[in-house]
Amino acid sequence: MSTTTPLTAAELVALGAQAGTPCSDCSALACPGWESVRGGAELSQLARVGTLRDPALDEPTVEEHHPAGTRGDSADAPIAPAWFPYNRCDVWRCTRCASVFLRYTEYGGYYNDERIRRLDPARVVDA
């Protein structure tokens, strides 16, 4: 699997379908909606397996995809790879249990906030 070519929605679903149940090493990271990575969280067991970033786009959209009125931190929010924040994510897998996570960094005026969401393949949409 290439780490520079963005994964398609179908590839993301397939990757998520292979995922295991979060183990004790990554269960604290298994957020159903976007959450900040907690201070002191152990991330060394996660290996980058792909990206949703399109290198051909200098500035991907910051528009979000919420057709049912969800929000980014909603557990039932769709995972739409072409839309923010997914279009700025890398895809990571736990080396111990194969759980899959999406990660990106939110850049604010005076802060950087690393965020994480467990990949739920049932939430992936190709919109």
Alpha carbons 60 and 87: distance in angstroms, whole number: 7
CA angle 49, 52, 56 (to 5 degrees): 120
Domain that holds residue 90: 9-123
pTM to 2 decimal places: 0.91
Q: Among candidates 122, 41, 52, which has minimal Cα distance to 91?
A: 52
Tell me, yes or no, whether 4 lies in a domain: no
Token duo for residue 72: 């980014």
Tell me, yes or no, whether 65 lies in a domain: yes
Q: What is the separation of C-alpha 72 from the centre of its chain, rounded to a whole number of angstroms?
A: 11
Tell me, yes or no, whether 2 lies in a domain: no
Tell me, yes or no, whether 33 lies in a domain: yes
pLDDT in tens, the chain (127 residues): 545 789 999 999 999 999 989 999 898 898 999 999 988 788 999 999 999 999 999 899 999 999 999 998 899 999 999 999 999 999 999 999 999 999 999 988 888 999 999 999 999 999 8
Tell me, yes or no, whether 69 lies in a domain: yes
The structural domain count of the chain equals 1
Tell me what pLDDT residue 72 has: 86
Tell me, yes or no, whether 1 lies in a domain: no
Tell me, yes or no, whether 20 lies in a domain: yes
Tell me, yes or no, whether 39 lies in a domain: yes
